[in-house]
Amino acid sequence: MSDFLPINRKDMQSRGWDEVDFVYVSGDAYVDHPSFGAAIITRVLEAAGYKVGFLSQPDWHSAEDFKRFGRPRLGFMVSSGNIDSMVAHYTVAKKRRSTDAYTAGGKMGLRPDRAVIVYCNRIREAYGDIPIVIGGLEASLRRFAHYDYWDDKIRRSILFDSGADLLSYGMGEKQTVEIANRLNSGEKISEMHDILGTCYAVDTKDTPFGGTECPSFENCQNNKREYAIACRIQQDEHDFVRGKMVKQRHGTKMLVQNKPMPPLTTEELDRVYELPFMRTYHPSYEKLGGVPGIEEVEFSITHNRGCFGACNFCSLAFHQGRFITARSKESIVKEAKKLTENPRFKGYIHDVGGPTANFRAPSCSGQLERGLCKGKKCLAPKPCPRIEANHEEYLDILRTLRELPKVKRVFIRSGIRYDYLLEDKDESFFEELVKYHVSGQLKVAPEHCSAAVLDYMGKPHIEAYLRFARRYFALSKQAGKEQYLVPYLMSSHPGSTLKDAVELAQFLKRENIRPEQVQDFYPTPGTVSTCMFYTGLDPYTLKEVFVAKNPHEKAMQRALLQYFNPKNRDLVEEALKRAGRTDLIGMGKNCLIKPRQPKNNYKGNSSNAGQKYNKRKPR
């Protein structure tokens, strides 16, 4: 079947259905594209033979809208959408955003704060003890007791606050189908305690044997060191090969996280991405201007999952995992050909990527047997000696896509790990990346230049970026192209002091980099860096970490990254004085800002009054 899923009772009945098996509730508008997790899960359920109704952005002010399809035969699946609802609504300064990219017309206000919790409460109000499974990013990253930046406190597992029966974490396809099949066979959801990739709750007296237990919700609330220990355990056990069951007490209840579900194989990934997605938003949104979130991904192709880069501020490692799986070349080319048949296609494939574009295989061959190394990173602070850097397969795919009829250009806009690229002794991919796959500028993420800060970020040291940049510009010149690098930079990450921010400003001036935008560190759930932000401790060493939390200090760090902007002058001057770096205020080539000009108090005649002093240099 090639059509959108039913969005109301009329659609359901037009298919000849009296009821649906599942209602999928999403905080996003309905976009049937494989870049949207809701689209993948609903299409996977459909392919497994289930009737699915799609309830997008329901009116949560009462339970009525949750009855749109009537009572589903098997239950509800609930997600906040592609991102955490609090991140969707608020900036790092906790100010309300003005637009929502995942809502028709970009309109704000069509989903509630903490959408998963609100939706589940309304479903309970409507249908009592009907089975409810929560998943997606918001549920996955809040599956344990977690620090919530917006409340500035430790919150319970979202499984308890939502009142759901099961929590599906990670990508979710396999566990979703298993839950559906077992519900369909008549098994009670309260007895499904053995499904990998899920969390459930039991009375503490019924706690299963085995696994490992992390500090309780109450201990995490009362002791930051205990929270840091809990974070480390949870991160370390998120590995489908060596990971253990993890338990966490919440009062008289025990939260139990089963081992992670193994990722999809190449064949399974191919089947998922070949499902009959409409690849656009539901036509009911057309009159509202469409859904902005589709614009960057409509003509993009996802070729991989997972990221062994595992930066500390990124939630990917705790959601998708660090193990890399990839689609076959045949599947990717087949999707590209479909794109060229779309009447909206203009000849440009916007991206062939994923969490990290140039990963096609695990970082080393030992991971299938032993999993990824606990407490270590493949690329930071420098690449592991066992890393196997190879771009041959990825390059072959890109070459084939470039030759397809109707394809003018194939771009790579997902993140490139330049440190991994540099480990490949064959420079063919680097050369063709520069020659064919950059649209004038390439975005990369050095994030900082201070070695100490980069260590807290889990990023490579700045020397790797400098090596990459020098070669990138040399290859661009060799190809006869004037191209640029756009570096992502972050201020106020845990570990970054005012002196570190000054060091970064000096680096930017030395390298002639003038960032138009900089990002303050955003403490989102499920990351190691958020743990550092809250506890002031590195969870892997339990040593103290400096954290800039005062808004004024954060403003100074951010201003230093744009020291050249006249609007930032006062903040930069204050920051330099506080850091003891007044030597950087002056006329020298290394100075960041010029000294203040003395006020001209001369009062001349009326013809000169109000004119700026503008003495010319002597010849």
- pLDDT of 42 above 80: yes
Mean pLDDT of the chain: 95
pLDDT for 608 equals 40
pLDDT for 561 equals 97
- pLDDT of 598 above 90: no
Contact indicator for 511, 441 with CB cutoff of 8 Å? no
Instruction: State how beta strands 409-410 and 441-447 pair.
Output: unpaired
pLDDT for 600 equals 63
Q: How many CB atoms lie within 10 A of CB 348?
A: 13
Instruction: State how beta strands 325-326 and 132-134 pair.
Output: unpaired
pLDDT for 605 equals 46
What SS3 class is residue 409?
strand
Residue 197 — pLDDT band, cuts 50, 70, 90? very high
Which of 3.40.720.10, 3.30.450.20, 3.40.50.300, 3.40.50.2300 would CATH assign to domain 9-194? 3.40.50.2300
Q: How far apart are CA 296 and CA 133, in angstroms?
A: 30
User: 295-439 architecture in CATH?
Assistant: 2-Layer Sandwich (3.30)
pLDDT for 615 equals 34
Mean pLDDT of 186-204: 98
Greatest Cα pair distance in the chain: 96
Q: Backbone dihedral region of 374: left (phi > 0), alpha (psi from -120 to 50 degrees) or beta?
A: beta
Residue 597 — pLDDT band, cuts 50, 70, 90? confident
Of 129, 141, 139, 197, the residue nearest 165 (C-alpha): 129
pLDDT for 173 equals 97
pLDDT for 81 equals 96
- pLDDT of 609 above 80: no
Contact indicator for 531, 147 with CB cutoff of 8 Å? yes
Contact indicator for 367, 310 with CB cutoff of 8 Å? no
Q: How far apart are CA 269 and CA 282, in angstroms?
A: 24
- pLDDT of 607 above 70: no
Q: Where are the domains of the chain?
A: 9-194, 295-439
- pLDDT of 614 above 50: no
What pLDDT, in 10s, does the model give residues 229-270? Answer: 999 999 999 999 999 999 999 999 999 999 999 999 999 999
What pLDDT, in 10s, does the model give residues 46-68? Answer: 999 999 999 999 999 999 999 99
- pLDDT of 481 above 80: yes
What pLDDT, in 10s, does the model give residues 282-310? Answer: 999 999 999 999 998 999 999 999 999 99
| 143-157 exposure pattern, b = at least 16 Cβ within 10 A, e = fewer | bbbbbbbeeeebbbb
Mean pLDDT of 158-163: 98
Partners of 247 in the β-ladder: 213, 256
